[in-house]
DNA sequence: GAAAGATATTAGGGTATCCTAACAATCATA
DNA sequence: TATGATTGTTAGGATACCCTAATATCTTTC
């Protein structure tokens, strides 16, 4: 399995999990690759047994594809913990490095790394490391742009992308913070919230709020 | 620079340093690749400025090629230290993993890793990590098969190859051991030594003794 | 339900890395 | 120094992954 194919199924997992069908366009955009290349690769992923594919419709991960994707994401997140906690990297710089390391990490290395890090449950921006916890997050966490006005929610995960991480860091908006949604203005596309943890107001573009996953009861 | 090209110049460094010309056959064997592929790749390495190449004669690393090779080897050895000392891997299992990690390790990661490991001078099988120390080893260490009978030498480096490492481990022959060369029988190809550190005799095929580098005054 | 717009596929190519078979240069040694 | 053995190159081809341009299908909207 090449690093590139691993990237494809990882993106598919992030985009649709094992439940929703993912269009080629979305995959192409995420990987910054031309659409015909995705069509081509899908056939190869079907042969490998990682996805099911319907012409003109899109693809969905098989069970083994889903499992494989989770294994890679686990390795990614373990490295992020290592880079932040042991090597002292700032949280918004580790994604790119983990992106490379994840593809060359044997299972034994991952296991020993996990033990060495004291079996962390989450990566630095809140992504689950254990499979059951990944499932729980998938089921329970909701994107901030789907939460109604008035709710109190806990920020649990920030989508792992360098620019986003540095943006939210600059906004003093961190994993674990509890915020109240005061107002949502769909007209101008702005959400106004109050960060209880930091005791300060936080205004956020709605288009960016979908990258924040929150716990909402 | 692809991981594959990095492998080529790393092998060239190990085979000839910056001083000797290396034949394509040797490179091909080390990388387990057909000779014509090596010829082809040499042209590409010339274009990139890493090697000088003379048709039918062989190749030699340029200054920048040498520097590049050292950077990769440094990363390789840092990971080996990490895998052994932090993750608890047995010494003969880390080569393969480091072989992969070395190609995806940014300079910043390498620096922070080095600091985290307390700036180790040597990897688990004796290879130098600092550039000046690499040069010193290159200049001062000598392969065991070139040492005369009667000498007392200290084992300083074992060539980094999984099977060799497990072999020497099984022979209870480790980095730092001091041994006396009692006899060399070129007829049957056997060298008889006494390991002072372990206080026991050690017999060794001469053909394998060239993979042991020793300090010899 | 038909046209417009969005999305996906096919066709035809490109590069990097690898191969085998056939041929050429070099080396070693009688 | 000639010749066989060794080593290296050329020729021709394969695969994986990527592209653009042209075409096909699907979706949305009037």
**Residue A31, pLDDT above cutoff 90:** yes
B44 touches strand C (CB under 7 A): yes
Q: How far does CA B54 lie from the centroid of its chain?
A: 25
Query: Given B88, B100, B116, which is nearest A112 (Cβ)?
Result: B88
A58 touches strand C (CB under 7 A): yes
Angle at B175 (CA atoms; ends B169, B179), nearest 5 degrees: 95
Which pLDDT does position A197 carry in this prediction? 93
Two tokens at A47? 């042969």
- Work out how many CB contacts closer than 8 A connect A with B: 41
Q: Mind telling me how many Å the CA of A126 is from chain B's nearest CA?
A: 22
Average pLDDT over residues A177-181: 93
The reported pLDDT for the residue numbered A189 is 82
Interchain pair A103, B104: CB under 8 A = yes
Task: Kindly state the tokens that stand for A183.
Answer: 């107002």
DSSP letters, B37-106, are HHHHHHHHHHHHTSEEEETTTEEEE-HHHHHHHHHHHHHHHHHHHIIIIIT---GGGHHHHHHHHGGG--
CA of A56 to C1' of D26 (A): 8
The closest alpha carbon to B123, from B165, B167, B163, belongs to B165
DSSP code at position A189: T
Q: For residue B79, which of B46, B44, B109, B108 has the smallest C-alpha distance?
A: B109
Query: Do the beta carbons of residue B209 and residue B191 sit within 8 Å?
Result: yes
Q: Which of the two residues, B33 and B138, has the higher pLDDT score?
A: B33
- Least CB-CB distance to B106: which of A88, A97, A112? A97
CA A45 to C1' D28, in angstroms, rounded, equals 31
Pick the closest to residue A143 from A155, A134, A131 (CA basis).
A155
CA distance B191 to B144: 10
Closest CB from A89, A96, A116 relative to B87: A116
Q: Reply yes or no on whether the pLDDT at A217 is more than 80.
A: no
C-alpha R_g of chain B: 18
Quote the CA–CA distance of A190 and B115 in Å, as a whole number. 44
* A65-76 average pLDDT score: 97
Lowest mean pLDDT of A108-112, A200-204, B111-115, name the range.
A200-204
Query: Does any strand D atom come closer than 7 Å to the Cβ of A2?
Result: yes
Residue carrying the six token digits 């299992």: B93
Per-residue flag: B136 CB under 7 A of strand D: no
Look up the pTM and report it. 0.92
Q: Is the CB of B21 under 7 A from strand D?
A: no
Measured CA to CA, the distance from residue B148 to residue A162 in angstroms comes to 59
> Of all residues in chain A, what percent carry a pLDDT higher than 70?
100
Q: Residue B2, CB, less than 7 Å from strand D? A: no
What spatial distance separates the first Cα and last Cα of chain B, rounded to whole Å?
A: 40
The reported pLDDT for the residue numbered A163 is 84
Rank A82-86, A91-95, A180-184 by mean pLDDT and report only the highest.
Answer: A82-86
Q: What share of chain B is helix, strand, coil (3-state, %, to 5)?
A: 50, 20, 30
Chain B residues whose beta carbon lies within 8 Å of the beta carbon of residue A97: 106, 109
pLDDT value, residue B164: 87
Q: Of B84, B167, B178, B152, which is closest to residue B122 (Cα–Cα)?
A: B84
For residues A144-157, average pLDDT: 91
Any idea which nucleotide's C1' is nearest the CA of B55? D8
Question: Of all helices (H) and strands (E), which one includes residue B109?
Answer: helix B107-116
Q: Which of A128, A132, A212 is nearest to A175 (CA)?
A: A212
Quote the tokens at residue A157: 């995960």
CA distances from B18 to A135, B62, B64, B70, B132 (A): 53, 7, 10, 11, 14
B163: three-class secondary structure by DSSP: helix
Which residues of B fall within a CB distance of 8 Å from A101? 101, 104-105
**pLDDT value for B186:** 82
Please report residues of B whose CB lies closer than 8 A to that of A113: 87
Taking CB atoms and an 8 Å cutoff, what residues of chain A touch B87?
109, 112-113, 116
Cβ pair B83, B91 in contact under 8 A:
no
User: How would residue B194 be classed by pLDDT, with cut points 50, 70 and 90?
Assistant: very high
Find the mean pLDDT for residues A105-132.
96
A136: which DSSP letter?
Answer: H
Asked whether residue A32's C-beta has any atom of DNA/RNA strand D within 7 A, the reply is yes
Distance from B201 to chain A by nearest Cα, in Å?
A: 36
Count Cβ atoms below 10 Å from residue B57 Cβ, excluding itself. 10
Q: pLDDT-derived band of residue A87, with 50, 70 and 90 as boundaries? A: very high
> Smallest Cβ distance to B86: which of A88, A97, A116?
A116
Structure confidence by residue, pLDDT tens digits, A32-67: 999 999 999 999 999 999 999 999 999 999 999 999
**Which residues from 6-25 of A have any strand C atom under 7 Å from their CB?**
23-25
């Amino acid at each position: 399995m090449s690093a590139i194919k691993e990237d494809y199924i990882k993106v598919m997992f992030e985009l649709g999990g094992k439940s929703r069908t993912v269009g080629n366009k979305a995959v192409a955009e995420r990987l910054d690759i031309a659409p015909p290349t995705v069509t081509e690769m899908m056939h190869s992923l079907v042969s490998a047994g990682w996805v099911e594919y319907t012409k003109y419709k899109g693809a969905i991960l098989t069970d083994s594809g889903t499992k494989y994707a989770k294994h890679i994401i686990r390795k990614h997140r373990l490295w992020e913990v290592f880079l932040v906690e042991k090597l002292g990297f700032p949280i918004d710089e580790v994604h790119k490095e983990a992106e490379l390391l994840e593809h060359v990490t044997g299972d034994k290395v991952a296991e020993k790394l996990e033990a060495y890090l004291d079996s962390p449950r989450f990566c630095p921006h809140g992504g689950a490391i254990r499979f059951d916890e990944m499932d729980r997050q998938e089921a329970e966490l909701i994107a901030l742009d789907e939460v109604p006005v008035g709710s109190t929610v806990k920020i649990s995960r920030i989508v792992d992308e360098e620019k986003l991480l540095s943006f939210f860091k600059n906004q003093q908006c961190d994993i674990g913070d509890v915020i109240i949604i005061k107002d949502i203005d769909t007209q101008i596309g702005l959400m106004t919230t109050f960060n209880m943890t930091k005791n300060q107001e936080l205004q956020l573009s709605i288009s960016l709020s979908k990258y924040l996953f929150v716990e909402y009861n």
